[in-house]
Chain A
Amino acid sequence: MLKYLFAKEDDIPQGTAAIFFAVSSIAWFIIGTGLGSFNAAKLAFPDMFHGLYALQFGHMRQVHVHAVIFGWIAMAFAASMMYITPALGNTKLWSEKLGVWNCLLYNVGLCLALALLWSGVTSGREYSDHIWPIDLYIAFVMVVPWCLNVWMTVINRRTQGIYTTNWFFAGCMFMTVIVFLIGNMPEWLHLTGLNEAYMTWWFAHNILGLLITPVAAAITYYIVPKITGNPLYSHRVGHLHFWSIVVFYSTPAAHHLMSSPLPEWLKSFASVEGVLILVPAVAYVCNILLTMQGKWAMFVENIEIKFTITGVLLAIPLNMQGGFQQTRAINWYIHGTGWIVAHAHLALLGFSTFAEAAAIYYGMQVLLRRKLYSASLANFHFWMLLIGFSLYWTSMTIAGLIQGAAKIYEVPYVDVVIAEHPYMIVRWLGGTMVFFGNIVWLYNMIMTARAGDVVPAGRQPAEIAYTR
């Protein structure tokens, strides 16, 4: 990597930035899920790591969250954008050199940000925990150069139209910059009270809704047609998805605070808009699944399609939960319980992660021109992720329902803790499976780079048979 930092733009091979981002994202995925497993162990057995004062739960909890969101998910997005955007524009990435620097400074910034959170230096706001100097670094050193690279590649494209994936990439990067700068306003402007609490959740909602879910969807809009060879079922439905994301997904922030004393009109408005999230959700899932027509065998045979379609199928329960759990009728029961934790993992570890993993699997093979080293290891990774996630989701959903029941029947809290104990153990096992699956994935990717069969020019990796 270092040798390209000061190389001339023309001397840097295409795809370098994407590969660096991809490898970093896998490394952060291992770190993030490792921390998740470590934290989960303490929720099951609080004295398990007693004496390791440097790794207290209250400090490591947010390090896990930011390692997976900024490390794994966002860097996997950056990797995907840096090879998909130019491919769809029939052009080169606007600046590989900017991309390489972006990746380096991204990793440096993330290490710094997580170290500060780890030591307890925090703004005290969930999801916008970073202190404002770090916020500025994230915005202007990590996100703006990335956004610039994507936008300039789209603008300098050599195709007449812009494919669905690229509208999403460009639109979401633009919205991410806006959301990040406005969402961290409370700290810059020293906002206080309910305004601050509301803006905290405005940020949390929009960073999920305008970056993480739509970009994951955009990736699947590329991967599925590319690998199956089917054209996207409908560009018009793609339009519906995009515009309803912009209109409906950017407005329900207040539904995260349904039981707080926010103005009632705001909560009602947010709740109605929250149900309308089903519009982009249904449009998207139908569009992708209909694109699979006649190619369903690939769901079993092809590892990238297996990951992508699993992600898309997980988006169905995700959106059904998301649309309805925030209405007053349901929210009072499950608010603040493990149900929400399960839902958040369904979005990030279910839908989003599976889509990104597919993009990284595919991208690494295309960029390195090498066939995946081992199909067996990839399948092992898939099942570790899926089974681990399912254990996690099921156990946390049940734990959440127990908490919800205890809430209405006024059960003493410690009885809830006792009742949740087995589910905390299962959650820990599930998270640990994901962690070990990811270590296998990193090994498989390293071996692909070193020993994968060469993919001849003009051929797709999916067309080459596995020799191992």
Chain B
Amino acid sequence: MAFREYRIGCWMFGVALSLSMFITIVLPGLDISSMSSTKIALEKQLTYGWETGFNYYDPFLQGKDKPIKVTLNKDPKTGAAIDKTDAYVFPAGTHFPDGLTHNNILGGDVQKVSESKGRIGDATEEQGGVFLVQSDANDTPYIEYATATRGWTVDATLKAADQQFLAGSGKTIFVREGCWWCHTLLPEQTQDWESFGRPPLVGDFNGESPTTFGSDRKAPDLLHVGSRNSSREWMTLHFFNPRLVQPHSIMPRYDYLWGTKDHDGKQIDLASWDTHYQRYVSGEEIYAPEVPIPAPNSEARMLIDFVLNLK
């Protein structure tokens, strides 16, 4: 009864809000969803796997449940030499990105070719497998399920790999540690070409979650940082203590991501490292203390792999 005299107002309110949501949610949603994946989107999905934010399979964001990107110079099955190839290894049980489990993410031709030539329909999360990103004769990018098409198994591929990148797990650390509060992953369309490289295209994000564009650039954009600086040594020093390589940096130290043991199993003592570092800063020691090489399963290694993989 009390709102009786406001009935027209309530209707107007409902109509206005519904119309606003139709224009700002439904129409953009239809438009954005109609975009096909680019090759970059396929590579990102296969590198980062399923959701990187909080999820059932990695609730504390430790980098679990992620694929491994490898570089191959020989065929894992036959051992024959092949051109340098990036392959994406999903050990059994690793969850697939949306593009492999939903038929509306890759978009139009990309979906069709991935199914017909790439045989992605044969892949299951239970058995895992190895994936490649290819382009067909019409330049349509597609995902190839190499376990079905070439017989590349997970174990053989990991064994044959020259290099393994834990870039998927690294993105988890990137999200958890809040790197994206300062480093954007979005070169702007207007003036960022020269410093930070090509801005992304509309189809570059299909199936990626979260996109971690960032909104407040207190530090360089990182979308193509691996192309600008591919030195693992520099990245290692920079993550351990940014001021070793860039005295004016305001980035926090990420030395705690090294964990307790370094690459050779030696104990890492951050406090004594800092003591030596302070002596180095004040000029009492000539050289900065040695930065430990991160252990292969350390979070530091994952994060470095992620950053180096941002080409």
The answer to whether B23 and A251 touch across the interface, beta carbons within 8 angstroms, is: yes
Q: Is B298 an interface residue when CB atoms closer than 8 A count as contact?
A: no
Q: Is B92 an interface residue when CB atoms closer than 8 A count as contact?
A: no
The answer to whether A155 and B2 touch across the interface, beta carbons within 8 angstroms, is: yes
Q: Is A240 an interface residue when CB atoms closer than 8 A count as contact?
A: no
A174 to B305 CA separation, bound complex (whole angstroms):
46
The answer to whether A58 and B213 touch across the interface, beta carbons within 8 angstroms, is: no
A182 to B25 CA separation, bound complex (whole angstroms):
9
Chain B residues whose CB sits within 8 angstroms of the CB of A121 once the complex forms? 54, 59-61, 176
Chain A residues whose CB sits within 8 angstroms of the CB of B251 once the complex forms? 46
Interface residues of B (CB under 8 A from A): 2-3, 5-6, 12-13, 16-17, 20-21, 23-25, 27-29, 31-33, 35, 41, 51-54, 59-61, 97-98, 105, 175-181, 184, 186, 188-192, 194-195, 199-202, 204-220, 242-243, 246, 248-253, 256, 271, 274
The answer to whether A246 and B54 touch across the interface, beta carbons within 8 angstroms, is: no
A368 to B169 CA separation, bound complex (whole angstroms):
55
Among B16, B35, B177, B201, which residue has its beta carbon within 8 angstroms of that of A243? B16
Chain A residues whose CB sits within 8 angstroms of the CB of B208 once the complex forms? 192-193
CB distance from B217 to the nearest CB of A (A): 4
A121 to B52 CA separation, bound complex (whole angstroms):
11
**Looking at the complex, which of A21-29, A74-82, A336-344 is the stretch in contact with chain B?**
A336-344
Among B32, B249, B250, which residue has its beta carbon within 8 angstroms of that of A194? B32
Residue picked from B3, B5, B33, B252, most chain A C-beta under 10 Å = B252
Task: List 14 extra interface pairs beyond A193-B205, A194-B205, A413-B195, CB under 8 A.
Answer: A43-B250, A46-B243, A120-B178, A123-B210, A182-B21, A186-B209, A195-B32, A200-B210, A250-B20, A259-B190, A338-B218, A407-B192, A414-B248, A414-B249
The answer to whether A332 and B206 touch across the interface, beta carbons within 8 angstroms, is: no
The answer to whether B105 and A192 touch across the interface, beta carbons within 8 angstroms, is: yes
CB distance from B290 to the nearest CB of A (A): 19
CB distance from B258 to the nearest CB of A (A): 12
Q: Is A131 an interface residue when CB atoms closer than 8 A count as contact?
A: yes
The answer to whether B177 and A58 touch across the interface, beta carbons within 8 angstroms, is: yes
Among A256, A261, A265, which residue has its beta carbon within 8 angstroms of that of B215? A256
CB distance from A127 to the nearest CB of B (A): 9
The answer to whether A157 and B2 touch across the interface, beta carbons within 8 angstroms, is: yes
CB distance from B168 to the nearest CB of A (A): 14
The answer to whether A197 and B52 touch across the interface, beta carbons within 8 angstroms, is: no
Interface residues of A (CB under 8 A from B): 42-44, 46-47, 50-51, 53, 56-59, 61-62, 119-126, 131-132, 154-157, 160-162, 171, 175, 178, 182, 186-187, 190-200, 202, 243, 246-247, 250-251, 253-254, 256-257, 259-263, 265-266, 269-270, 332, 335-338, 340-341, 403, 407-408, 410, 413-414, 417-418, 424
Among A193, A254, A341, which residue has its beta carbon within 8 angstroms of that of B211? A193
Contact A195 B33, CB 8 Å, known A53-B256, A259-B189, A269-B23 = yes
CB distance from A373 to the nearest CB of B (A): 39
A271 to B24 CA separation, bound complex (whole angstroms):
12
CB distance from B299 to the nearest CB of A (A): 11
The answer to whether A332 and B202 touch across the interface, beta carbons within 8 angstroms, is: no
Chain B residues whose CB sits within 8 angstroms of the CB of A336 once the complex forms? 184, 188, 214-217
The answer to whether B54 and A259 touch across the interface, beta carbons within 8 angstroms, is: no
Chain B residues whose CB sits within 8 angstroms of the CB of A250 once the complex forms? 16-17, 20-21, 24
Contact A410 B28, CB 8 Å, known A121-B54, A131-B54, A260-B186 = no
Chain B residues whose CB sits within 8 angstroms of the CB of A186 once the complex forms? 209
* CB nearest to B175 among chain A residues: A124
The answer to whether A193 and B207 touch across the interface, beta carbons within 8 angstroms, is: yes
The answer to whether B28 and A262 touch across the interface, beta carbons within 8 angstroms, is: yes
A467 to B156 CA separation, bound complex (whole angstroms):
85
CB distance from A95 to the nearest CB of B (A): 17
* CB nearest to B189 among chain A residues: A259
Contact A190 B98, CB 8 Å, known A198-B32, A261-B202 = yes
